[in-house]
Amino acid sequence: MKHYLEKLIEGKSLMEYEMEEAVQGIFKQDITDSEIASFLTGLKSKGETAEEVSGLVKAIRKHALNFTKKIPNVLDNCGTGGDGSKSFNISTTSAFVIAGAGITVAKHGNRSVSSKTGSADVLEALGVSLDFSPEATEEILEQNGIAFLFAPHVHPKLKQIMKVRRDLKIPTIFNLIGPLTNPVQLDYQLLGIYRRDLLDKFAHVLANLNRKRAIVINGAGGMDEASLSGVNEMVLVTQGEIRHMKLQPEEVNLPEYDNASIRGGDARDNAEILLNVLRGKKGAHRDTVLLNSGIGIYTAGHAPSILEGVAQAAESIDSGNALRKLENLIDISKRNNKAVG
């Protein structure tokens, strides 16, 4: 660790294998909080490279709970948080819509970061369990086509690092890498990020992580989701090839809305919004979910265009498929809670 700290202090970047080795050292019991803090601040001061982020993510995934089964064609749609928009749970709602369109979704998430309610908070309010074992999660993915992975549950060895991160009280790389650390082997990923200047860097990280296809998006107004308030900047990653894209609401036949129209509330409020969307209620919430779900469906290769992806998203909701995915997950959770109790 001393060697790597010295490199960072000198402004030198670590190779991917060096970063992975350094982080493996952090998981050892004899590492101190001050060493972890120095490492995180050293990275931040220098500026993290795509190779360093990739090495960090690979090391964290090695210490996650062990998900051994390779389920084909799995997607995650998760944002970094941190955009300050206080929006409702867009990606969580969209996950059920994407699953309802026939795509397997391993939804990775946590409690609140920048909004009042994180994905775990809203799902817990709906009655979804947060503590399924890897084996149960894999079974749910195969049978229901969507499961939720609660970050603190699947990454139990990150407690010391998370404590240091909280104590530092400044943003570090850990504010951005959450969506990349899903322990399920993903083929596809829709990653929302609140910093437009990091689109290229995170596209290269997704290429390093061997995603078949992925999109990194920064929404209009700096959201870590696609927004109907203006131009969305995206980078498409296909088998390592990177292409920049822009998307406006009129291109997919959706109206414009100000971001203020999609603000959420507490867990109960956001659960109600999520249910209303899945039950077919029209308006800004539904249209925002259609946009994000359409991009997710396109990312997974289930639609030749985002416009067609939006159409499939509408069908997922209007057919009741999206709502059934949620209801099944709630029923599975009830049975799990009875078994545990």
Binding site residue list for Mg(2+): 91, 224-225
Written as six digits, the tokens of 86 are: 């206080």
Rounded distance, CA 57 to CA 340, Å? 32
CA nearest to 276, candidates 266, 263, 289: 289
- Sort 169 into a burial class: Cβ within 10 Å, 0-12 / 13-18 / 19+: exposed
Binding region for anthranilate: 79, 110, 165
Taking the alpha carbons at both ends of the chain, their separation in whole angstroms is 44
Binding region for 5-phospho-alpha-D-ribose 1-diphosphate: 79, 82-83, 87, 89-92, 107-115, 119
Query: Tell me, what DSSP letter sits at residue 329?
Result: H
Rounded distance, CA 301 to CA 224, Å? 22
Binding region: 79, 82-83, 87, 89-92, 107-115, 119, 165, 224-225
Q: How far is CA 31 from CA 1, 22, 52, 303, in A?
A: 9, 11, 20, 48
CA nearest to 284, candidates 306, 251, 259: 259
Of all helices (H) and strands (E), which one includes residue 191?
strand 188-192
- Classify residue 15 as left (phi > 0), alpha (psi -120 to 50) or beta: beta
